[in-house]
A and B are shown apart, each in its own frame.
Chain A
C-alpha cells in the first residue's frame, strides 16, 4: 500500500509538470500524460502486467516492466548522446565564427597585401 501511494504521488507530480509545459507540443504532452496514466493504472492493478507478460512469453509482469524500462532507457541515452553531438557541432560553428571575426595580426602585417590576397 505504501509503495502504491508513493509511486502515485510521483506520477501525479510528473503529470502536473508535463501539463504545465508550454514549450512542448500538445500532442507530445497528451502522449506523455497517457503513459503516466497507464503507469498509475498498473501501480494499482499490477496483475494486468502479468497478463501482458504471458502474451510476450515473460515469466512475471515485474520482469516485463524491467525489460521494457531497460530498452527505453538505452534508447534515451543514445538519443541524448546524438543530441549532445549535434549541439557540439553547432557550438563549433559558433566558436569558429567568433575566432574568424577577430584575427590578431603580428606587428607590421599589411593584412594580406603581400601577394596572398587576390
Chain B
C-alpha cells in the first residue's frame, strides 16, 4: 500500500477499537501488526478469563476492561467512547483474532479521507475470504439479505468487523445491541442517519482458531430476537 500525501499522518489521529474476549493466544500478534501502522489502539477486554488484557497491554494497546462479560457490541461502544474521549479524529473497529488485514484498514482510511465519506466498511464478498466454508458464506449472505431488507441500505457484507469512520460519525452512532446484533444495528443507523457509506473489498483470513471462536449458526436466531427486543425498547 502506497502511503499517499492525502492520508499521511492520519493514522496517528486514528484510534482503533479492538473488542476482545479470551484472545490471549493471538492478541499480542494482532495488536503488534495493527500498531505498526496505527499507533493508537484501545482493546476492550470484555471480561476475559485469560490473560487477554495483559497480552494486549504488552503489545502497546490501552486496555479497558468490562467488569463482566457484556458482548461484542457493548465492547465496541465502550471502545468508541474511550477513543472519542482521547480526541480521535478517526475511529476504526478491528477484530482481535487476526482475521483482518492492517493494510485493508489503511486503505479504508484513505478512501474515507479522499472521498469525504462518513464511514467505510470492509466487505469480504467484494474482496476475498480465505478458508471460508460454503455454509458460512451462505449464512452470512442470508444475514446480508435480511439486513438489507430491514435497514434499506444496500451492502454486500453487513457483518464485517472492519470499519473506519470519522469522529463525528462515531459520535452520532450509538450501539445499544450488546451482543452480536450490533453489526445489523450499525447498518440500520447508517441508513437512519443517511451517512455517506462505501464498502471496500477486504481479505478475511479464516484460521482454525477464528473458525472455532466464530459465530455458530444457531446464534442467528438470537440476533433476530435481539433486534426485535431492541426495536421494542427503542
B:40-99 near A, CB below 8 Å: 40, 42, 44, 53, 57-68, 70, 74, 77-78, 81-82, 85-89
Interface contact B64-A103, CB-CB below 8 Å:
yes
Interface contact A92-B178, CB-CB below 8 Å:
yes
Closest to A94 in B: B67
Closest to B61 in A: A106
The tally of residues in A whose CB lies under 8 Å from a CB in B reads 25
B contact residues around A99 at 8 Å (CB): 44, 64-67, 78
Distance (whole angstroms) from the CB of B76 to the closest CB of chain A? 11
Of A23-31, A56-64, A83-91, the segment with at least 4 beta carbons within 8 Å of chain B is A83-91
Closest to A86 in B: B233
Distance (whole angstroms) from the CB of A105 to the closest CB of chain B? 6
Contact of B81 among A98, A100, A102 (CB under 8 A): A100
Interface contact A116-B15, CB-CB below 8 Å:
yes
Distance (whole angstroms) from the CB of B89 to the closest CB of chain A? 8
Contact of A100 among B68, B82, B229, B232 (CB under 8 A): B82
B196 close to chain A: CB less than 8 A: no
Interface contact A103-B63, CB-CB below 8 Å:
yes
Majority-rule SS of B interface residues? mixed
Interface contact A106-B57, CB-CB below 8 Å:
yes
CA distance A100 to B60 in the complex (A): 18
Interface size class of B (residues with CB under 8 A): 35 or more
A19 close to chain B: CB less than 8 A: no
B201 close to chain A: CB less than 8 A: no
Q: Give the interface centre of B39, B44, B67 by most chain A CB atoms within 10 Å.
A: B67
Distance (whole angstroms) from the CB of B23 to the closest CB of chain A? 16
Interface contact A100-B78, CB-CB below 8 Å:
yes
B13 close to chain A: CB less than 8 A: yes
B contact residues around A92 at 8 Å (CB): 70, 74, 178
CA distance A92 to B57 in the complex (A): 23
B12 close to chain A: CB less than 8 A: yes
A44 close to chain B: CB less than 8 A: no
Distance (whole angstroms) from the CB of A98 to the closest CB of chain B? 5
Closest to A105 in B: B62
B129 close to chain A: CB less than 8 A: no
B:131-181 near A, CB below 8 Å: 176, 178
27 contacts between A and B (CB under 8 A): A85-B229, A85-B233, A86-B233, A89-B176, A89-B178, A91-B68, A95-B66, A96-B66, A96-B78, A99-B64, A99-B78, A100-B85, A102-B65, A104-B53, A104-B62, A104-B64, A105-B62, A106-B59, A106-B61, A112-B86, A112-B87, A114-B40, A115-B12, A116-B12, A116-B13, A116-B87, A116-B88
Chain A interface residues (CB < 8 Å from chain B): 81-82, 85-86, 88-89, 91-92, 95-96, 98-100, 102-106, 109, 112, 114-118
- 6 shortest A-B CB distances, which residue pairs? A118-B87, A117-B87, A104-B63, A99-B64, A106-B60, A96-B78
